[in-house]
Each structure stands twice: as structure tokens, then as C-alpha cells.
Structure 1
């Protein structure tokens, strides 16, 4: 199914963020992509095109402080970027081709963290987290660039109870289907962080955990990129097909 590409702008707090709708012809589920810190919607566009071809309305966008608004990065807080994500979700939810109530959110790294937070604010049916980052709740309004990396590294190296973290607490209330993707050689998001997320999904309808062998955090190598694309597209295909057929899934 061919997808129509339509560049748009998201206006959040007076800042114009570049975004792109990829839309099939029929009413279908929606998929919101959230890129990582220092990235852009370019990371997601090729996968979004493939998923749009399956029959989904896909929205990619550039977080504030990235791409065209890079100059603002030193002042951007997590609160700012969460507002960007909520605005993007709301824009997707009003799309005329969308099958309301069937929205998936795909987040990578920092985008995965924001995706988890979004679940407490908006209705999400499917949640895919690729190497999701984790941050302390304190200093929420401190510019993201000013967070201490050593402190973050120590925080992520141990198990974090969901009651002690806003993003993980949101995960405990999520009752949809979850895909959790880990990179074998990730020096930024250790296995302990992945397990903190995994254990937080207490009410999820299903949980699929995949590890990409030989992959680093940024998916620097082509085989790792292809592996992630395959994992994500296959999972979305299974979720969307199952929803259309009314088929449930077991956790594993």
C-alpha cells in the first residue's frame, strides 16, 4: 500500500518543529515515532515508510532542540520535549485517516523515555521501546544538556523500583502490548535499565523482549539497523493484524 508523504509543522510554545505525516489511503491505526537525544526524524523515516505501507498512519517529527531548532538545545528541558511529544500525539490523533483508539508509540533511547511518560497522559495501545533511557525525577526542569553523565551512569547501573521513577511508574499502569529492544553492546543503556523497564510492565497485555546481538546503542552497523527494522516491522505487523482479526496475544 503506497503512502502519501506530507511535511507539516508542529507549533509548541511558539516553536515550529518540522514533522512528516506518512498516510495510506484507508482508515488505519496510527504510529508515532520519537527519536533519541541528538537525533532527528531521519532516524525513523525509513521504518515509518515501511510501516505506513502495512496500513498505518505514521508521524515522525523533530523534538525541540534538534534539526531545524538545534540552536535551542542547550536550553531544552525534559518538560519541553514531553510537551512536544504530547503535541505530536494530539496532531496524529486528529488525522482523518486514523482508526481512533489504535495508536502505537515507538521511542528510541531518550524518545523511549518520553514514550513511557506519554502513556500516563494519553491513550496508547501499543508501545515499542528501543534502548529506552532512564533519568532521575529530580532536576526535571534543568536543561537536558546540563544533566550529569556520571550520575546518570550510576543511576542506570542498578535496578530502579518503578515507584521511584515517573517513567517506570507510568509503565506499571500500561495495559497494552509492549516491545522492548535491547542492544547487546550498549554502553549508555545497560541491561539493568532494560530490566527496570521490563519489570515495571506489570499489567501489560503482552511483553516481547528482543536483544540485537552485536549492536551498539546507536545501531552504527548496517546488520544491527536491519535487525531492528525487522524486529519492529514484524511486531507492528503482528499487532495490527491481530487487532484487525480480534486475536489476543499471550505474554512471553
Structure 2
């Protein structure tokens, strides 16, 4: 397995990423980290999935890591553009099969990953504690969104008719993994149920709850449980596609 640093051009800026790939990698896997996260949390998972015979790309969205100074100003639209630019950089890799690309998103990254499936071909979609946001205020900086209002919104079942991310999920026809945390105080079970209910056209839907885990997977045990779930699911998906 080899790793190499890449610069991804988006709008008038550049964001940093890391490619992990084996010599024989054909499927591609894109990682989207959560709000206030970074690609560092995904690197080990990328290495493990890369070892299955895939090319993985992790990257830092604007407003994070080296561009943290922009966090108060970036919008969901900005970060979606980051995700699209990263997807295109991954798809341009010479070893990639464009019909075999997976996206892994955590929390805010899961929300963006769901929307991305309407704009780029995605075969496998893995969402860990995917966040849910109102369609309104799309161009308002993410940092400025009303957290109390978001908490209330996520605490009730939301229809796919009333939410862009869920409407896109309803039209997705690939394989889906949804992982939730038993003690999540940011993305409650109602929000997870809204996503599960939306994926009515998915080729397959796997849903798992990590017992005792919080939103951030703060304990080594929770991290290990998620790593095992994710790696096992992708092993099944990637090997089953060959």
C-alpha cells in the first residue's frame, strides 16, 4: 500500500488530501469527515480498506485543519463543493473503476455524502451518525446555524418530501450502511430513523447500533467496534463485486 499527498483545487482555493492505494486497487472510496473533524481520524480506516484492494482518499474540508480560520464563514454549499472536488480527484486516479466508488461520511460528512449521491455516481454509501439539517439557510455559514433549532428538528421523524438529503437518499439505488451510537446526544435515533426510512430504493440496507457509544466514539472500544463494522461491510461489498 502506498500513500501520497494531493492538493485538490476547489473554487479559488486548495485543500489537502492523502491517497492510499494498492497496486491492484480498482474500487475507490472517499471519506468525508464530520464538522470540526479532520482526515486524521479516517487515515487508519483508509489504510485498512485500501488493503482490501481499493484506492482511498481522505481530505480536509475547508474550515478545518489548515484552513480552520475559515470555519466561521464556510457554508454547506462550500463543503459540498469540497466533497465534489475530492470525488473528482479520486475518480481521476488511473486505477479507479468509475462504476465502483464508495463514499463514507460521518455526521456532517454523512449529510454531505447523501447529497453527493445525486451529483456523482456512488455504488456504496456508508453513513455513521449522519446529521440532518433543514433545507433553509443553505448559504448561511454552517457555524452560525441555530443549534437549538437543529436539535429540535432532529428529534422528530422527518419526511423525505421535506428534506433534500432524505429525498436524495430515497432515490439512491446502491448499497447502504448506517451506523448509529446508542448514547448520541447530537444525532438522536429519530434522525437515524428518518434516514433509514428514506432508503426505500437501496439495493441493500444494513443498520447497526454501537452499544454504549456517544456521537464522537470517545472510547477505544467504540472506535474498535466501528472500525470492525466498517471494514467487514466494505470487505463484503468489494469482494462481492469481483
Q: Indicate the TM-score class for this superposition, using the shorter chain for normalisation.
A: over 0.9
Identify the residue that residue 135 of structure 2 maps to in structure 1.
137
Cα root mean square deviation, aligned = 0.6
Identify the residue that residue 68 of structure 1 maps to in structure 2.
66
Q: Distance in 1 between matches of 2:234 and 2:173?
A: 17
* Unmatched runs of 5 consecutive residues or more in structure 2: none
Q: Deviations over 1:97-130 (max 9, x none)?
A: 1122000000000000000000010100000000
Identify the residue that residue 228 of structure 2 maps to in structure 1.
230
TM-score, normalised to structure 1's length? 0.95
Identify the residue that residue 116 of structure 2 maps to in structure 1.
118
Contact 2:25–2:50 (Cα < 8 Å) also in 1: no
Identify the residue that residue 51 of structure 1 maps to in structure 2.
49
Q: Distance in 2 between matches of 1:22 and 1:37?
A: 23
The structure 2 residue matched to 1:99, chosen from 97, 100, 111, is 97
Q: Distance in 2 between matches of 1:5 and 1:181?
A: 27
Identify the residue that residue 30 of structure 2 maps to in structure 1.
32
Identify the residue that residue 171 of structure 1 maps to in structure 2.
169
Contact 2:108–2:131 (Cα < 8 Å) also in 1: yes
Identify the residue that residue 21 of structure 1 maps to in structure 2.
19
Q: Could you tell me how far 1:159 is from its partner in structure 2?
A: 0.3
Contact 1:76–1:143 (Cα < 8 Å) also in 2: yes
Identify the residue that residue 190 of structure 1 maps to in structure 2.
188
The structure 1 residue matched to 2:212, chosen from 211, 214, 225, is 214
The structure 1 residue matched to 2:159, chosen from 158, 161, 173, is 161
Q: Could you tell me how far 1:27 is from its partner in structure 2?
A: 4.1
TM-score, normalised to structure 2's length? 0.99
Identify the residue that residue 247 of structure 1 maps to in structure 2.
none
User: For this pair of structures, how many residues does the alignment match?
Assistant: 242
Q: Distance in 1 between matches of 2:212 and 2:18?
A: 31
Say which SS state the counterpart of residue 98 (structure 1) adopts.
coil
Q: Could you tell me how far 1:29 is from its partner in structure 2?
A: 0.3
Asked if residue 205 in structure 1 is aligned to residue 211 in structure 2, the reply is: no
The structure 1 residue matched to 2:239, chosen from 234, 238, 241, is 241
Identify the residue that residue 147 of structure 1 maps to in structure 2.
145
Q: Could you tell me how far 1:15 is from its partner in structure 2?
A: 1.6
Q: Distance in 2 between matches of 1:214 and 1:27?
A: 35
Identify the residue that residue 79 of structure 2 maps to in structure 1.
81
* Unmatched runs of 5 consecutive residues or more in structure 1: 245-252
